[in-house]
Amino acid sequence: MLRGLYSAASGLISQQRRHDTITNNIANIETAGYKQNTAALRSFNEMLLSITGVNGQERRSIGTWTGNVFAEESLTYHLQGDLTETNNRNDFAILSNIAVDDLVFDQSGKAVRANGEVVFQPQAYFTVQNAQGEIRYTRGGQFSVTSDGYLTTSTGDHILGTNNEPIVLPAGVSLDELTLTSDRRLVTSAGTDTGIQLLISRIDNPNGLVREGDGNFKLVEGTAVPITDLDAVEVRQGYIENSNVDVLQSSVDLMAALRAYEANQKIVQYYDATLQKTANDIGRIG
């Protein structure tokens, strides 16, 4: 009986985490460059059950039992979001579609080779430096300029150029006076090159990125290399990348998580009533 109670309780916890993940996605629908999260649920390892000492019989197997379920990790979908034109020259958006050996990637950005090898579609990111001097990656392209000319994200992180240094605009020049070229250089309205070129990094395995908040990701596995292929990755000025959250699917998943939570809740209530009857009524009769 307690096994069933523990299974239902683990289901409650897992569905609550799933619900929290989905509501966080919905809350960030309007966040530029936000990447959708999904909670990966899995069961505990299988256990072999057996019977021993029943009517003098030898021990025999009666099957397996997986028991509880838990939210193993939170996975991020790094796929391209739609672009919206803002006509704000401080806004930048990455349009990325990096091909790998003619593979066709599914909605989660995954493809499988003929030999069974799983491949994830590489993704492109703005490269930034936080207040601690650490390198981070983001798709949030709503930039601003500080009083001392540094180009920063909306959260104050410095945007890096291809020289791996924070970008500093020429004195007295604003982004409104600069245009981004196809090779990601900033030039003046007169066509003068400022010597500034945005550093766009390619992450071959985006699952090696860990979300840190404020739209930033930390690369904990794999490497990042500067992107030089102008055909695979385009950066547009005056655009923002919308969140890649699927609103309709999130609504369906939210309702499913709620129904599963309620079902587990009823099971817990059932076991609670059964245990109460066992302890009070049966115990009193004995």
pLDDT band at 216 (very low <50, low <70, confident <90, very high): very high
Global pTM value:
0.80
Average pLDDT of span 252-261: 90
Instruction: Report the pLDDT averaged over residues 236-263.
Output: 92
Cβ atoms of 17 and 10 closer than 8 Å: no
User: Any idea where the domains of the chain sit in the sequence?
Assistant: 2-76+246-285, 85-241
- The pLDDT score that the predictor gives to residue 65 is 60
163-191 per-position pLDDT tens digit: 999 999 988 888 889 999 999 999 998 88
Map tokens 């025999």 to a residue: 60
Tokens of 280: 């009070």
Which pLDDT score, from 0 to 100, does residue 200 have?
Answer: 95
Give the distance between the most distant pair of CA atoms in the chain: 97
- Confidence band for 5, pLDDT divided at 50, 70 and 90: confident
Q: Which two three-digit tokens encode residue 130? A: 């936080």
